[in-house]
Structure formats: C-alpha cells, structure tokens
C-alpha cells in the first residue's frame, strides 16, 4: 500500500474530473480530496489558462504554457438550465459569474458556476428594489463583479453597482455574500461620469476599479466599503481613435493598454500602488509578429494610415520569470514576451471556430480548474 504522503502528492496533480471520480474510492480519499488543506495545496500547483468564448455553447481553452489543448477542461456551460442561454461576465480562481441572456418576458438571472465540478448557484434577487424582479434590471444594473480570494476565505462576494431610482447620475453598491446567502447595501450613493465602464471592473489591491474615457476613474474598496478616485487615463489621444483596450490585473499590478489608430507599436502602463499616476511599464513593438504572420495586415479604416493590423489583446500575464502579452491574431493565439521581445505560437483554432471567434468579437477570461464550492 502506498504511503499517505505519496497518495496525496499524486492526487494533487490530477485534473478535477479525475478527483471527482476518486472521491468514491474510499472514505479516506473522500475526506482527503474534500479537505481545505488539499484544495489550498492544489491551487499552488494548478497552472492557469484562457477560456475564450462568444457564447457559452462555444468555449475554447488555451494553455498559457503552450501545451497540447486536445483535452479541454470544458467546452460549454450546458449544465446550467436557463432557457434563454447564459453569458460569462467574469472568471475568478475557478469560479465564473454568468448572466442569462435577455429574452422577452423573462427576468435575467445571475449565476455562480464552477465548470470543473459542474455545480452552480443562482443569486437571489435583491428584494428591497421591486424593479429588480420585474424584468427592468437591464436599466438599473450597471455592473456586477465577483470577488473571490480562496487564500483568504472559501466564501465569495458579488458586488453590484445599480443606478439609484431617485437620480439619473447616482449609483449604489450592493454586496452579496455566499456566507450569508443575502444582499446588503454597501456604502453611500455616489455620482459617476456618464461614460464610466461599470461592466468592466478589475479587482486589484482589495478594490474594484472602473475607468472613464473622459472623467474621473473610480475604485471601491471592498473591505473598507469606501469609494476613491484614480488618475486620468495616460493617453492624450482622442477617445474616438481608440481601437483596443486591455485593462486588468496580473502579478499584483494593475495594467492598462490602449491602442489608438492603426499601429503595431504601443505602451503598457502600470498604476502606482499609491494611486499617484499611471507609469509606462513596457514598450511593445509587434513588428516581428507581423512579419511571421502577414495575414495580420489589413486595410486601415483611418484615412491617415495605409494599413492596419488584425489582432486582439487578450490579457497580460506577469510573474517573476516573464511578462507575457496574450494575443489573438486571425486563427491563432500568440504569447509575446514583453521582457525578451520574443513570441511563441500557443495554438490555432479550426475554420469552423474561427468563423465565430472573429478578432475582437469574443471575450477572454483567465481560468484555472478548482474544487471551490458555489
């Protein structure tokens, strides 16, 4: 019989699908796999990847290590029984925040899903506001965000920004906790610029951050339940010329990349931890990628430029070893090293998938398999 320590080391390296089956081997294995200690150690060994989707019926997985992608962790969210269909809003440590698609006569529902275990939970409606359950939530809900840090707690929170019914430019944060299974008001109502992007919040430094193209960008500290402001966007270019934006957290830093006009050269900015300014972190030149994949060259829609370059910024992955910019070019996925200025082909997609996954027409979310409960 194998020693317990060796059994644990073997199980820690297995995919979630296998672990769920092995729970039935014995009570000892069930107890081991279900323990918080096992989940904690497994997270440190799990590599992350990207899930790419336009709809939840067409999900593609890309390994950031460039390994074989033949064994997809999951390809759909069909285990969630919603007649309207659902879309992914956010991914956090193995959990997905999803929303049902709009359908005439049907109220939108919000879900927390673990596609690795095929478990989901339906978020309850906030009963203090009748319009939330009457089907008019599309006019009052400005953004919903999943806050989950399994290293601190097995429970997650969902922050919802809603427009106050008493004022057009006034908003209120409400927070749902999986520990209490209930919503509550958080902080006081606040004003925000008309063009702030509430549906693209980024969690960093224990706060959710939202950017505004023309006004003050905002952040909301979850622990302190306090609203703050951020410096304006670093670019002086006209907003109408912005073609691509990548806003996210990686390696403990908040990054922002905006591409204006038809160019393959741009900068990646990083927010100072004290929120004093955006500072240039990387200068990017994708010329070597364009040379290797000439299908990226297209006619430009801007009159002052002769050509454009077909690519999407998926995310920035930063750690001690390297900083990688993940790109989607026509039919392919590429990682570009911001430190070494080299690139690597991560994978390709079929012609059938490429028809639906057009450049810029799908969403990318970092994802790792998890045993987290919903």
Axis-axis angle for helices 27-34, 36-45 (nearest 10): 60
69 vs 134, residue with greater confidence: 69
Q: Convert the pLDDT of each residue in 248-279 to its tens digit.
A: 898 889 999 988 878 888 999 999 999 999 99
46 vs 293, residue with greater confidence: 293
Range of the domain at 4: 1-45
Tell me whether residue 23 is in a domain. yes
Report the chain's mean pLDDT, rounded to a whole number: 81
111, 123 in Cβ contact below 8 A? yes
Tell me whether residue 157 is in a domain. no
- What is the tally of structural domains in the chain? 2
102, 108 in Cβ contact below 8 A? yes
Cβ neighbours for 46, distance < 8 A, ≥ 6 positions apart: 368, 369, 370
What is the structure's pLDDT at 357?
44
Tell me whether residue 307 is in a domain. yes
pTM above 0.95, yes or no: no
Tell me whether residue 204 is in a domain. no
Tell me whether residue 77 is in a domain. no
Task: Look at residue 17 and tell me whether its pLDDT is greater than 70.
Answer: yes
What is the structure's pLDDT at 130?
41
Average pLDDT for 143-169? 87
**What is the spatial distance between Cα 63 and Cα 294, in angstroms, rounded to a whole number?**
24
46 vs 12, residue with greater confidence: 12
Q: Convert the pLDDT of each residue in 110-136 to its tens digit.
A: 999 999 899 999 999 865 444 443 344
Q: Convert the pLDDT of each residue in 27-43 to its tens digit.
A: 888 888 877 777 767 76
What is the structure's pLDDT at 134?
38
């Amino acid at each position: 019989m194998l020693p317990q320590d060796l059994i644990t080391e073997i199980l820690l390296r297995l995919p979630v699908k296998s672990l769920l089956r092995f729970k039935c081997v014995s009570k000892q294995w069930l107890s081991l796999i279900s323990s918080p200690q096992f989940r904690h150690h497994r997270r440190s060994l799990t590599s992350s990847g990207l899930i790419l989707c336009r709809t939840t019926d067409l999900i593609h997985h890309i390994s950031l290590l460039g390994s074989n992608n033949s064994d997809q962790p999951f390809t759909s969210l069909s285990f969630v029984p919603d007649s309207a269909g659902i879309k992914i809003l956010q991914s956090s440590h193995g959990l997905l925040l999803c929303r049902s698609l709009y359908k005439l006569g049907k109220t939108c529902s919000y879900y927390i899903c673990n596609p690795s275990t095929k478990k989901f939970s339906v978020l309850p409606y906030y009963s203090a506001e009748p319009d939330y359950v009457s089907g008019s939530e599309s006019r009052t809900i400005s953004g919903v965000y999943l806050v989950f840090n399994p290293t601190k707690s097995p429970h997650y929170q969902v922050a919802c920004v809603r427009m106050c019914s008493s004022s057009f430019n006034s908003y209120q944060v409400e927070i749902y906790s999986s520990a209490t299974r209930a919503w509550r008001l958080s902080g006081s109502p606040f004003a925000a610029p008309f063009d702030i992007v509430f549906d693209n919040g980024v969690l960093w430094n224990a706060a959710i951050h939202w950017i505004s193209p023309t006004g003050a960008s905002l952040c909301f500290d979850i622990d302190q339940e306090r609203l703050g402001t951020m410096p304006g966007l670093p670019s002086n270019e006209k907003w109408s010329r912005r073609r691509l934006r990548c806003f996210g957290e990686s390696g403990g830093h908040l990054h922002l990349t905006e591409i204006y006009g038809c160019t393959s050269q741009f900068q990646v900015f990083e927010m100072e931890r004290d929120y004093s300014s955006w500072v240039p972190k990387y200068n990017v030149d994708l010329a070597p990628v364009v040379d290797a994949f000439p299908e990226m060259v297209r006619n430009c829609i801007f009159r002052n430029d002769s050509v454009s370059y077909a690519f999407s910024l998926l995310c920035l992955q930063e750690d001690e070893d390297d900083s990688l910019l993940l790109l989607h070019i026509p039919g392919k996925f590429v990682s570009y090293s911001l430190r070494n200025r080299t690139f690597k082909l991560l994978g390709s997609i079929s012609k059938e998938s490429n028809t639906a996954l057009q450049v810029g027409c799908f969403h990318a979310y970092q994802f790792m398999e998890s045993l987290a409960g919903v």
